[in-house]
Amino acid sequence: MFLSDKPIPVRDRLIVALDVADAAAARALVIQLGDAVSFYKIGLELFMAGGYFELLQWLTAQGKKVFVDLKFFDVPETVCSAVRALVGSGATFATVHGNQAIMEAAVRDKGELKILAVTVLTSLDRGDLDDLGFACDVDKLVLSRARRALEAGVDGIVSSGLEAPMIRHELGQRLLVVTPGIRPVENKPADDQKRTVDVAQAFHNGADYIVVGRPIRQAPDPRAAAEAVQATIAGVFR
């Protein structure tokens, strides 16, 4: 077992993905969830819908923490400038998805913003990596990227809970590990997440935070679903 030893408030370990159609829907869900959730991820769908930074400011004004998941990938100087522009926004995390030079550029002027490097998307499996031209197994690619992220000076990585034990075994607790693809119940056939774990398994495998989207958003009672996840997390860290 590789349980996180970082001093993170237990209820902050749940990050809810606001993958909804627009900022109004995001605000409505946040209000519905109330104090059951203190940390939110806002990604590309909301960015393209408009009102992204106004939503970020509204969330921080509500006392919420924000994970900006835009997966910066561009020439290093452009990535550095993008991160610099985000500093001071109130965001806690931001993602970068690139090579060594891109990761090094992302951390150059990050201030207190924590940079997370994406390893391998949880929607990808062995067949997808073949399509992308990667000859190695998923776990070897994840570990390679985690090592390079550590060398680049990023604060953490985004990784499936399946690979988290290997990362902890090889790299210890030096990186934050944020784990998406959480499925509290059996994965549905139409789900695009392929490498999934449940809540308790993710933390036992070494995650510091988990990202949960559809299992909470699409629940008959999203707040009750969020509180159920929080209760599981509290039980793990009791």
All domains in the chain, ordered by first residue: 10-236 (3.20.20.70)
| DSSP-derived 3-state class of residue 66 | strand
Q: How many CB atoms are located within 10 Å of the residue 225 CB?
A: 20
CB burial of residue 45 (10 Å; 0-12, 13-18, 19+): middle
DSSP H or E run through 138: helix 138-152
Mean pLDDT computed over every residue of the chain: 90
- The predicted pLDDT at position 144 comes to 86
184 to 144, 191, 215, 228: CA distances (angstroms): 28, 13, 7, 10
- The predicted pLDDT at position 126 comes to 53
- The predicted pLDDT at position 160 comes to 87
What is the tens place of the pLDDT at every residue in 31-49? 999 999 999 999 999 999 9
Please state the φ and ψ torsions of residue 30, each to the nearest 5 degrees.
-60, -45
CA 13 vs. chain centroid, Å, equals 11
Q: How confident is the model over 141-168, as a mean pLDDT? A: 92
- Residue 64 is a catalytic residue: no
Range with lowest mean pLDDT among 62-66, 87-91, 188-192: 188-192
Of these residues, 41, 64, 71, 194, which one is catalytic?
71
Range with lowest mean pLDDT among 84-93, 145-154, 187-196: 187-196
